[in-house]
């Protein structure tokens, strides 16, 4: 091989590698999107019938949500980034008009003197992988499942951190499974372990870094969805969920039926007297031992017609927690 032939071969190899890299990255860039969203939030909890100060706060938040596509090939890789920042407009202060005291209401982290911080923010990063009709995600998650729903009831949302796999390999069947290790609360930039009401306060506060979940959504017919989900927070509780959603097109309008059942029971240290003495307890009815034990049934019927809807629902909870 002479010098000119060798140079041509090397140039062709470099060009081929460059084109290959561009092809792999094409889906990552071309299918990406970025969204800027603003949220203004004001809260006023006027507990005038209690011996407590009024909680009041006002803030402005900015969200930059970047979602990449997937690289081309049998296995695609991607990256999502959610950046958010909140600015305090009013924390209520310690002395309001007419001598009415106002305290921060849980929208912003607190300084050592008890006042709300001027601003705070966080960045959530999620790596993702796709193979066939299965997608895996690792990092920051915003789950919306019967056994785990992130809370967006303040200026910034609650974030969960862990891994999740979602598969649609079987027609009309969606399978979901994963593990959550930490959460970032609505008024914080730090992540913490997981707990339940009753066990996360005081000197004996207890937390867990293991919440396992799995579920199935089966589209039995085009109008009928059947669901089963399981959740387990180690040393606290395990929960089973059964759901049915049916859409019925009537001669005039449509009727939607949504039936749900939750069964929750104790797990690990929560189910033993010694564990509950250590602080692995659940809030419950008067006389409750602190052991997780409850059932929840609910039914919702919604009639829709020309953009209007009328719903009738019923819910019943039994148990000691």
Q: Where are the beta strands (DSSP E) in 222-283?
A: 224-233, 237-249, 254-266
The helix (run of H) or strand (run of E) holding residue 122 is strand 119-131
> Where on the phi/psi map is residue 234: left (φ > 0), alpha (ψ -120 to 50), or beta?
beta
Going by C-alpha positions, the residue among 230, 237, 289 that lies closest to residue 265 is 237
Extract the residue ranges of the chain whose pLDDT is less than 50.
Answer: 3-16, 18-20, 94-100
pLDDT of residue 53: 65
Query: 74-96 burial string, b = 16+ CB within 10 Å, else e?
Result: eebbbbbbbebebebeebbeeee
Handedness of CA 154, 157, 161, 167 (dihedral sign): positive
pLDDT tens digit string along 10-61? 444 444 454 445 555 667 888 899 999 999 999 887 776 776 667 788 999 9
- pLDDT-above-70 percentage for the chain: 86
Written as one string, the DSSP assignment of 24-54 is: HHHHHHHT-EEEEEEEEEEEEE--TTSSSPE
Number of H helices, E strands in the chain: 2, 17
pLDDT of residue 227: 98
Structure tokens at 101: 């005291």
pLDDT of residue 44: 83
pLDDT of residue 259: 98
pLDDT tens digit string along 230-273? 999 999 999 999 999 999 999 999 999 999 999 999 999 999 99
Hey, which residues does 41 pair with through a beta bridge?
Answer: 59
């Amino acid at each position: 091989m002479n010098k000119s032939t060798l140079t041509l071969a090397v140039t062709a190899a470099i060009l081929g590698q460059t084109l290959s890299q561009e092809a792999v990255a094409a889906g990552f860039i071309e299918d990406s999107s970025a969204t800027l969203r603003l949220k203004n939030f004001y809260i006023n909890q006027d507990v005038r019938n209690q011996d407590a100060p009024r909680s009041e706060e006002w803030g402005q938040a900015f969200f930059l949500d970047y979602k990449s596509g997937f690289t081309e090939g049998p296995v695609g890789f991607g990256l999502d980034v959610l950046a958010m920042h909140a600015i305090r407009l009013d924390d209520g202060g310690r002395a309001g008009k007419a001598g009415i005291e106002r305290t921060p209401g849980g929208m912003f982290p607190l300084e050592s003197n008890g006042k709300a911080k001027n601003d705070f923010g966080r960045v959530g990063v999620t790596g993702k992988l796709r193979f066939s009709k299965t997608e895996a995600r690792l990092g920051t998650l915003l789950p919306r499942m019967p056994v785990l729903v992130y809370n967006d009831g303040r200026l910034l949302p609650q974030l969960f951190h862990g891994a999740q796999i979602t598969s649609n390999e079987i027609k009309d069947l969606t399978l979901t499974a994963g593990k959550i290790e930490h959460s970032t609360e609505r008024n914080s930039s730090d992540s913490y372990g997981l707990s339940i009401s009753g066990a996360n306060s005081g000197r004996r506060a207890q937390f867990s870094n293991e919440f396992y979940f799995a579920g199935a959504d089966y589209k039995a017919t085009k109008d009928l969805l059947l669901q089963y989900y399981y959740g387990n927070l180690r040393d606290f509780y395990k929960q089973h969920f059964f759901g049915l959603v049916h859409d019925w097109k009537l001669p005039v309008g449509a009727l939607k039926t949504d039936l749900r059942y939750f069964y929750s029971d104790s797990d690990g240290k929560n189910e033993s007297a010694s564990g509950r003495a250590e602080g692995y307890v659940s809030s419950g009815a008067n006389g409750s031992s602190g052991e997780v034990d409850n059932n929840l049934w609910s039914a919702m019927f919604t009639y829709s017609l020309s953009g209007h809807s009328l719903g009738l629902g019923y819910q019943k909870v039994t148990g000691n927690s």
